[in-house]
Amino acid sequence: MMDQCLVVHIPDKQPHDLHHQPTESVFASAIDPKHANQIVRRLNQIAPLEDLRHVKRIQKKVLEGGQIELLVILCLAHEGNNQLDNMPPLLQELISSHQLSPFITKVCKYAATSKEEWQEQCKFWPTSYHPRTYNIDGITGFSEEDSQSVLKFMQSAVEMATSDGMVVNAAVIVDPSAKQIISSACDQIFSWNTCKDNNCYRKPELSSSHPISSSRCNPHEPLHSNSSSNQLKQSYTDVACLYPRQWTEQQSHSQSSYYWHPLRHAAIVAIESSAARDRYLFSSEGNSEDRYLELDSDNSSWTSSPAKRQKTVCANGEDDDRLNAHSQTSDQPLARPYLCTGYDIYLVWEPCAMCAMALVHQRIRRIFYAFPNPNAGALGSVHRLQGEKSLNHHYAVFRVLLPEEALHKCHT
């Protein structure tokens, strides 16, 4: 279906034109170098720059003749509040006591994400630049082997999304350490064969491409040959993440024979399937070793994932010898994965905010998607959830640029 692909990292912040970075107006003033430490300490107390921590408080200039001039930022200069009389009283007192002469200047609003951005920012006012001290595989580029692996798993997702000549979203969760699919699913906001029992879990037949798979989807929109990977000419109204509120306009479906649930997007169903897999393998009832061997007898290396594991001892521990023959950690009890920590997920379409947040909760490590979501995309098109600092987990996001007719080729 696809012979090659380009994988592009989606940064956690919207890239800015190097020469047109957003700026903020501030009050600044020249100060006597002898009083610099005293003034800066006082300013940090009465007018801290909470939203401009990347901006240095003092700028040093060398004037003609080699004379040194120090400029200091006093405070923000908000729109409609650019008059000195509107400054806080304590700041006015400081200005008066040191006979300062405030003026308005510009500083860059956001911290630099690259050395090039930082160099441009310092032309306005000095800022700090802190390069990444960590790396998630892929951010600095993929090897040929890794690219082929990404392509293979994305191909699996596209094949699922275009089954039966229709198109929906599809998700494939992968353990990258073993290069094994953990679970996969299509959109199931309306489906004829989705189990209504929350506790049900039927073990599917194993295959080389989909070891564990959720129920197949029943999408409703055919593909056409003019589809493009970058500028899709169709609306694809059955892709749940593209139209997350479409269920409010299709109440008539509730009268049909199929099961209806507006929250069963592909990523959510794949997470559910992964959890069901864990429950099946690590059930406290019955012989869990037998279940593990039956499900994964050909490849048990998924348990050696570098992901953080929540230790759970299997039942019937006396049968260790049998389990150890199929496990790489023969001297340790079988470890239950903690949610989806350390896993990757492949999606045909960029996820909506609901799905993206669910993947945060699941501790997904990397997200790969093929097509952008201009309506409700949460990872680059509309929002950038991966850059939200208040979250307690952050994943890396990549777009897989497929050949223009990838969807159509898969369909045919």
Q: Comparing 154 with 11, which gets the higher pLDDT?
A: 154
pLDDT at 48: 94
Report the pLDDT value the prediction gives residue 197, as an integer from 0 to 100.
45
- Torsion (CA) 305, 306, 307, 309 in degrees, nearest 10: 80
The whole-number pLDDT of residue 81 equals: 56
High-pLDDT (> 90) share of the chain, %: 45
Checking if the pLDDT of 25 tops 50, the result is yes
pLDDT 10s digits, 263-297:
899 999 999 999 999 998 887 644 544 444 444 43
Q: Which two tokens stand for residue 45?
A: 């107390």
- The domain 144-411 is placed in CATH, from the list 3.40.50.10490, 3.30.460.80, 3.40.140.10, 3.40.50.1100, at 3.40.140.10
Q: Is the pLDDT of residue 332 over 70?
A: no
Residues 132, 238: Cα–Cα separation, whole Å: 39
What's this model's pTM, rounded to 2 decimal places? Answer: 0.65
Mean pLDDT calculated for residue range 173-180: 94
The answer on pLDDT for 317 being more than 50 is no
Model confidence at 228: pLDDT above 50: no
**Average pLDDT rounded to a whole number, residues 142-156:** 92
49 pLDDT higher than 60? yes
Going by pLDDT thresholds of 50, 70 and 90, the confidence category of residue 204 is very low
Across the chain, mean pLDDT equals: 77
* pLDDT winner (highest mean) among 94-103, 194-203, 243-252, 311-320: 94-103
- The CATH fold of domain 23-109: Alpha-Beta Plaits (3.30.70)
* 242 and 375 Cβ atoms separated by less than 8 Å: yes
Which residues are CB-contacts of 99 (< 8 A; sequence separation ≥ 6)? none
Poorest-pLDDT segment among 115-129, 236-250, 372-386: 236-250
CA distances from 350 to 169, 229, 267, 376 (A): 9, 12, 10, 9
The better pLDDT of the pair 349, 1 is held by 349
User: Residue 299: pLDDT above 90?
Assistant: no
Percent of the chain whose predicted confidence (pLDDT) is above 70? 68
| pLDDT (0 to 100) of residue 143 | 87
More confident residue, 200 or 252: 252
User: Domain boundaries in the chain?
Assistant: 23-109, 144-411
Residue 195 pLDDT > 90, yes or no? no
pLDDT digits (tens, 9 = 90+) for 56-80: 999 999 888 888 899 999 999 877 6
Question: Taken in order 230, 373, 136, 172, is the CA torsion positive or negative?
Answer: negative
pLDDT of residue 248: 66
Q: What is the pLDDT of residue 399?
A: 95
Asked which of 16-20, 34-38, 112-116, 264-268 is least confident by mean pLDDT, the reply is 16-20
Residue 172 above 90 pLDDT? yes
How far apart (Å, rounded) are the C-alpha atoms in residues 74 and 94?
Answer: 10
How far apart, in whole angstroms, are the C-alpha atoms of residue 396 and residue 394?
A: 7
> Are 211 and 180 in contact, with CB atoms under 8 Å apart?
yes
Give the pLDDT of residue 210: 36
**Predicted local distance difference test score (pLDDT) of residue 113:** 82
Q: Using an 8 Å Cβ cutoff, are 293 and 322 in contact?
A: yes
- Helix or strand or coil: residue 164? helix
User: Of 209-223, 227-241, 271-285, which gets the smallest average pLDDT?
Assistant: 209-223
Host H or E run for residue 30: strand 23-31
Arithmetic mean of pLDDT, 34-49: 95
